[in-house]
A and B are shown apart, each in its own frame.
Chain A
């Protein structure tokens, strides 16, 4: 059974850097085709894709946020870390990580999400 769980601060100040960790179980991020994605959702708004890291360390980023995002993986710890710099109140959202299925080419299992508020 695949599970993912996001963790990190619930409150950050404007201009600070956000660091979120996705801890997963039930799969290996060294298996061919597998990836872990990050998606966020501001309150009452749509899903917005942020980043995706693959088993071979290939990384993809949202073009509109690329300059602020970094995604890394620690295969031995079964963790993926997302950092987002220069946080702003508009970045207030629920942040999800999700398993990218190697065959489906879709995100088939999502974490519960973690809510991040940006406020001074």
Chain B
């Protein structure tokens, strides 16, 4: 079955750049989206179709996808960005697959 692998945790200092990876077999051939889940809240879509941001999502969030790895990059990380982040793709049978999530800590 198709699986997505994320690091359990990433730490970053305020104002620095955070990168969260998501790996899967030939992931670059699929569209990836990213969700942010602040503590105690519902997930929020922050990146779709690998690189696109929905309206209202700050420019400091960006995405890329190539080969077997997709990456979410947060530039100028702020304390408010501390949350869990999930990548998501669609497998060959059009089923939804989520990564296991990455906890971003802003130190």
Q: Is A63 an interface residue (CB 8 A)?
A: yes
Q: Is A15 an interface residue (CB 8 A)?
A: no
Residues in B neighbouring A60, C-beta threshold 8 A: 93-96
Question: Contacts A46-B98, A47-B98, A52-B96 hold; do A108 and B45 have CB atoms under 8 A apart?
Answer: yes
Residues in A neighbouring B86, C-beta threshold 8 A: 46-47
Distance in Å from the Cβ of B8 to the closest Cβ of chain A?
A: 10
Question: Contacts A37-B96, A113-B42 hold; do A105 and B101 have CB atoms under 8 A apart?
Answer: no
Considering only residues 20-70 of chain A, those with a C-beta below 8 Å from chain B are 37, 39, 46-49, 52, 60-63
Q: In whole angstroms, how far apart are the Cα atoms of A96 and B93 in the complex?
A: 22
The total of interchain contacts (Cβ-Cβ below 8 angstroms) comes to 64
Q: In whole angstroms, how far apart are the Cα atoms of A46 and B95 in the complex?
A: 17
Bits for B16-56, please: 1 = Cβ < 8 Å to A, else 0: 00000000000000010101010000111100110010100
Q: In whole angstroms, how far apart are the Cα atoms of A109 and B45 in the complex?
A: 7
Q: In whole angstroms, how far apart are the Cα atoms of A63 and B2 in the complex?
A: 11
Cβ contact within 8 Å between B100 and A110: no
| B42, B44, B96, B100: the one within 8 Å of A46 (CB) | B100
Label chain A's interface by main secondary structure: strand
Q: Is A11 an interface residue (CB 8 A)?
A: no
Count residues of chain B with CB under 8 A from any CB of chain A.
25
| A39, A48, A104: the one within 8 Å of B54 (CB) | A104
Q: Is B97 an interface residue (CB 8 A)?
A: yes
Cβ contact within 8 Å between B45 and A107: yes
Q: In whole angstroms, how far apart are the Cα atoms of A109 and B88 in the complex?
A: 15
| B37, B45, B100: the one within 8 Å of A106 (CB) | B45
| B31, B35, B93, B97: the one within 8 Å of A105 (CB) | B31
Q: Is A111 an interface residue (CB 8 A)?
A: yes
Q: Please, could you name 13 A-B residue pairs with CB atoms under 8 Å apart, sorted by A?
A: A39-B43, A47-B43, A47-B101, A60-B94, A98-B43, A101-B48, A104-B33, A104-B45, A104-B52, A106-B49, A107-B35, A107-B88, A108-B54
Interface of A toward B, CB cutoff 8 Å: 37, 39, 46-49, 52, 60-63, 96, 98, 101, 104-113
